């Protein structure tokens, strides 16, 4: 598993003060409630007059991978099962850096950039080593450091029910046993990964969305209070 370490203050030239063009990143396994939390946070922050934008790192690369697998490999479960993890991680990182350079002017018009997943996703979901890992880690350090990193920890059993509710691909194509086993595996990898980020705020994803939203807003308010002190 890979560790993306950045110098203090982050990179990319986007964070120049508390709550101004700052990144809030939300992490967790599939079905944790990340997307719901990000949407709710954006609504709440916008209502408070803090301009917020919801985004994802490298939002199109997954579709590119799917098209490659669909066109060249018959009967493959997912592109993750076909394309090497090191290759996917490298492509995601390079695309994310280009994304921030290309959208820098647009991002600069916002107080908060809310990201549904961050670099930790690549550590967890893109297993495997690459001969150029050290170089790609250097490239990743040019991305901004999240001002707030929220880790939504959910029980895999509850995540399964949420995936069923939204009609996820894995629900239709995998047995319940396989899906639960995969979520437990990812949960374990996230637990190991997030120990390397002691400043991350852990939220109980088993609870209702409004409870998680209140805790996330309290974290942001504490950040403001600490910066003003």
- Domain 22-217 adopts which CATH fold? Rossmann fold (3.40.50)
**What are the extents of the domains in the chain?**
22-217
Check: CB of residue 217 under 8 Å from CB of residue 44: yes
Other CB atoms within 10 A of residue 8 CB? 5
Backbone angles phi, psi at 123, to 5 degrees: -60, -40
pLDDT digits (tens, 9 = 90+) for 173-224: 899 999 999 999 999 999 999 999 999 999 999 999 999 999 999 999 998 7
Taking the C-alpha atoms of residue 86 and residue 127, their distance in angstroms, rounded to an integer, is 7
Q: Is the pTM of this model over 0.75?
A: yes
The residues pairing with 114 across neighbouring beta strands, listed in sequence order, are 24, 54
- R_g of the chain, CA atoms, integer Å: 18
pLDDT digits (tens, 9 = 90+) for 58-114: 999 988 988 888 655 555 468 888 888 999 999 999 999 999 999 999 999 999 999
């Amino acid at each position: 598993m890979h560790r993306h370490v950045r110098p203090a203050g982050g990179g990319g030239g986007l964070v120049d003060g508390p709550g101004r063009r700052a990144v809030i990143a939300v992490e967790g396994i599939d079905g944790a409630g990340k997307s719901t939390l990000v949407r709710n946070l954006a609504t709440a922050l916008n209502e408070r007059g803090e301009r917020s934008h919801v985004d994802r790192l490298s939002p199109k690369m997954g579709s590119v991978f799917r098209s490659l697998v669909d066109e060249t490999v018959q009967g493959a479960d997912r592109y993750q099962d076909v394309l090497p993890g090191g290759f996917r991680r490298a492509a995601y990182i390079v695309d994310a850096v280009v994304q921030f350079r290309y959208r820098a002017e647009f991002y600069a018009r916002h107080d908060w950039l809310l990201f549904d997943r961050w670099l930790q996703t690549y550590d967890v979901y893109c297993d495997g080593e690459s001969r150029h890992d050290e170089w790609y880690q250097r490239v990743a350090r040019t991305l901004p450091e999240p001002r707030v990193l929220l880790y939504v920890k959910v029980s895999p059993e509850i995540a399964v029910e949420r995936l069923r509710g939204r009609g996820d691909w894995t629900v239709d194509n995998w047995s319940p046993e396989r899906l639960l086993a995969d979520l437990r595996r990812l949960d374990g990898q996230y637990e190991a990964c997030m120990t390397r980020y002691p400043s991350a705020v852990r939220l109980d994803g088993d609870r209702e969305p409004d409870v998680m939203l209140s805790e996330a807003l309290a974290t942001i308010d504490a950040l403001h209070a600490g910066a003003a002190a």
